[in-house]
């Protein structure tokens, strides 16, 4: 397709892909909803204590995050398959439209449907059994700390999984997880090198003086008296991490995914 984006063609593609993946989406949403219902049933059978709205709210967000992570491996696992992926590449749509349709199904539809399914299930159980499920998740959602920050972090993690799904052809989930662990170890190793080599003398002096370095807020770094160099480097690490994690990572993951979709060969 030479045309980069056509609105009508895009919506037709989204509708087609969503209808084809609806059974998988419903299955995943049902599994997490049934897990909550099974927990409620076990409480009734074994006379368990009540589950607060906050704890159920934590399950709601955890289940949604897990859904976001497994979404690409379940909905688009055959895209780069040597044989099964051919049907997808010959679809009458541009790479941009396929890319955006894929994001629509993995980032929006599946997580929101799972979120809504669990929310409805919890509401029904809390209504018929208020002693076991006191309160509604709605109230806990209002008091949930840093929801947008947590959602954005989950999105970045999902973008990494989407990229891994299109990057690897076999054992996609395992290789993606191992790659993520390797990246984390590499960043941690760099931090350790900076502390143990570059600023070894400063930290050793603080240890000999039995100083406790407690930093709860970024502004606390400025309070490190006599060790301004450490405060400066800690701020540098903090801002560098923020730029890398919240800026470079998502852009790199999405760009890499688009590139793999565009250059995929069968």
DSSP code of 192?
H
Same domain, 100 and 215: no
User: Domain residues for 242?
Assistant: 170-266
Q: Is residue 43 part of a domain?
A: yes
Could you give the CA distance from residue 258 to residue 253 in angstroms, rounded to a whole number? 9
Closest among 80, 66, 72 to 167, alpha carbons compared: 80
Q: Of 61, 66, 245, 70, which Cα lies nearest the Cα of 147?
A: 61
pTM value is: 0.81
Same domain membership, residue 99 and residue 30: yes
Question: Per the domain annotation, does 264 fall within a domain?
Answer: yes
Q: Is the pLDDT of residue 254 over 70?
A: yes
Whole-Å CA distances, 204 to 53, 207, 233: 47, 5, 16
pLDDT digits (tens, 9 = 90+) for 145-170: 655 667 888 899 999 999 999 988 88
Do 28 and 116 belong together in one domain?
yes
Sequence-ordered list of residues with C-beta below 8 angstroms from that of 97, at least 6 positions apart, any chain: 1, 5, 6, 9, 10, 13
In this structure, is residue 154 part of a structural domain?
A: no
For residue 109, give the nearest of 190, 19, 185, 32 by alpha carbon.
19
Does residue 56 lie in a domain region? Answer: yes
pLDDT at 201: 62
63-118 residue pLDDT tens: 999 999 999 999 998 887 777 777 777 788 888 999 999 999 999 999 999 999 99
- Write down which residue in 105, 127, 144 finishes a domain: 144
What does the pLDDT read at residue 81? 74
What residue has token string 């240890």?
Answer: 207
91 phi/psi in degrees, rounded to 5? -60, 140
Nearest CA among 120, 118, 90, 93 for reference residue 104: 93
pLDDT at 202: 57
In a domain, 126, yes or no: yes
Q: How many domains does the chain have?
A: 2
Same domain, 45 and 118: yes
Choice between 31 and 46, residue whose per-residue pLDDT is larger: 31
């Amino acid at each position: 397709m030479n045309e980069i984006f056509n609105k009508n063609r895009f919506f037709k593609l989204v509708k087609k892909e969503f209808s084809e993946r609806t059974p998988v989406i419903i299955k995943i949403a049902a599994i997490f909803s049934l897990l909550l219902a099974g927990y409620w049933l076990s409480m009734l059978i074994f006379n368990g204590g009540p589950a607060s709205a906050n704890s159920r709210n934590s399950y709601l967000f955890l289940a949604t995050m897990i859904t976001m992570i497994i979404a690409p491996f379940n909905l688009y696992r055959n895209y780069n398959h040597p044989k099964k992926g051919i049907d997808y590449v010959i679809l009458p749509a541009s790479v941009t439209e396929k890319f955006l349709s894929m994001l629509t199904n993995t980032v929006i539809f599946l997580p929101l449907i799972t979120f809504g399914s669990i929310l409805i299930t919890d509401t029904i159980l809390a209504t018929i059994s208020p002693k076991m499920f006191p309160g509604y998740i709605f109230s806990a959602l209002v008091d949930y700390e840093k929801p947008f920050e947590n959602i954005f972090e989950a999105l970045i993690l999902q973008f990494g999984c989407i990229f891994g799904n299109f990057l690897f052809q076999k054992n996609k989930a395992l290789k993606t997880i191992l790659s993520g662990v390797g990246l984390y170890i590499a960043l941690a190793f760099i931090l350790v090198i900076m502390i143990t080599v570059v600023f070894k003398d400063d930290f050793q002096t603080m240890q000999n003086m039995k100083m406790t370095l407690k930093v709860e807020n970024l502004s606390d770094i400025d309070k490190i008296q006599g060790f301004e160099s450490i405060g400066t480097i800690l701020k540098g690490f903090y801002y560098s991490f923020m730029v890398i994690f919240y800026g470079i990572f998502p852009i790199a993951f999405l760009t890499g995914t688009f590139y793999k979709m565009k250059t995929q060969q069968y």
